[in-house]
Structure 1
Amino acid sequence: MDMTRSKSVRRDARENVAKLHAAALDIFLAKGLDAPLEEIARAAGVSIGTLYYRFGSREGLIDAVIPEIAGSRLQTLASTVMAKDTPSQRLGAFVHGMIELQRDDPALNDAILRRYPDAVALLGICDRSAELGQTLVREAHADGSLSPDFTEHDLFCLLWLAGTASRDPNAPTGWHRVITRALDSAWVAVT
């Protein structure tokens, strides 16, 4: 193979990866991580075979595209949460911020719900967010603002319910209010 052809193939391969990356980002953010890979390949102007050759699997594509944006959004939420004055304000901001992200961002919702556990880079980012949630529950327990009956597991059940409901077009319209009430009932009344 001559050098001109070799350089051309490498440039084309880089361009295909960039087109796949951009198409996957747009489509995953709009439709979630289970968006059809054929649609992504078509939007990028490449074959589905090229997508699999370059990324190996759906999870490979997810890990190449989503962790950076998910990490950025979750870090922004973490900064907002940590700027609050009290443990109860921080935990409340975390829960409501996570629910908002889940409702507004189908790809991040899929990540938080761990729908693709083999997308390990993405799971690492979600694990850091889960650790923050656990810390916030422990801090709210320590200052006495959160009922000892409300556990870290309860927090993740609330977020799972919110994430599941936000993706289901047939979910009852009052799901958000029910989750808010569940959290509100977990606070210890100040006397």
Structure 2
Amino acid sequence: METKPQVTAPEPEVAEIGGPSRPLRRDAERNRRLILGAAKSVFARRGLEASLDEVAKEAGLGVGTVYRRFPNRDALIDALFDDMVASIKLIAEHASAEPRAWDGLVYFMTAMLETQGHDKGLRDVMIAREQDLITCGPEKGSTVREMVQPMLYDLVHRAQREGDLRPDVAPTDIGVLLIASVGVVEFTAPLSSTAWRRHLAVVLDGLRSRPDGASAPLVEPALDDDEMDACMAGWKYGTQQADRRRA
């Protein structure tokens, strides 16, 4: 349970003595980055249940300073989500820049899972806000969709033209497989932060085009974008409270 700090007067943020009286924006931004860095570290170890008190201790700041920047844990999670969106943008740009589209697809899927494999907090943020990342509606979700979807469609179609990706794969298949792989990351995390790589290799091998056309047929049709949205709207990532011990 988080301990609410005693209400005190805000610490003054003024310029150096003798200078003009104005906020020290660089100090405020420095504190913000310290808090976000500490939150990533604490959440990576403890998940999103960690308290703001723990984040303040990790950052080496007073609890009141943390609460002034982020009045509750949800506000801090929102800020981490914004940082994650920025990192996804960089991953998408790097994937698009690969000369061969297949290499871009492999990079995109690997990089998305790699960041989560080492960071429980990021995994929890991804899980908690998965719908915002994929579906239209919220401003942030729309931004991510508009950023990632064209890149993914382009990579899929180019990889198929270049003969590396099986021709019956749809861009939404990549999205579904990536979401499923997040489950693999979460499931294997207690054992290893890299065990998911084995299973991603199996997925990538299944996506590869076979020169002799001997790939197993895909019996069911691919989801379209609207169906993908409907699945995301009703999807619950397992049951976070369920007992996950093996029977």
Q: Judge same fold: TM > 0.5, yes or no.
A: yes
Aligned residue in 2 for 1:157 = 176
SS at match of 2:207: coil
- Cα distance between partner residues in 2 of 1:123 and 1:29: 25
Aligned residue in 1 for 2:57 = 42
- Cα distance between partner residues in 1 of 2:163 and 2:206: 14
How far does the alpha carbon of each residue in 1:1-42 deviate from its partner, in whole angstroms, 9 at most, with x for none?
Answer: xxxxx9963449976774354133233145346143231133
Mapped pair 1:22 → 2:42:
no
8 A Cα contact 1:17 1:54, kept in partner: no
The share of aligned pairs that are identical, in percent, is 23
Structure number with greater Rg is: 2
> Quick one: structure 1 residues 108 and 132, their matched pair in 2 at CA, closer, same or farther if it must change by over 3 Å?
farther
Q: Which of the pair has the greater relative contact order for Cα pairs under 8 Å at 6+ separation?
A: 1
Q: Which moved more, 1:123-132 or 1:80-89?
A: 123-132
Q: Which moved more, 1:29-38 or 1:92-101?
A: 29-38
Aligned length: 184
Q: Which one has a larger percent helix, Structure 1 or Structure 2?
A: 1
RMSD over equivalenced CA pairs, Å: 4.0
> Quick one: structure 1 residues 54 and 8, their matched pair in 2 at CA, closer, same or farther if it must change by over 3 Å?
closer
Aligned residue in 2 for 1:83 = 97
- Cα distance between partner residues in 1 of 2:163 and 2:172: 18
Match 1:188 to one of 180, 204, 209:
209
Gaps of 5+ in 2: 1-8, 15-22, 213-247
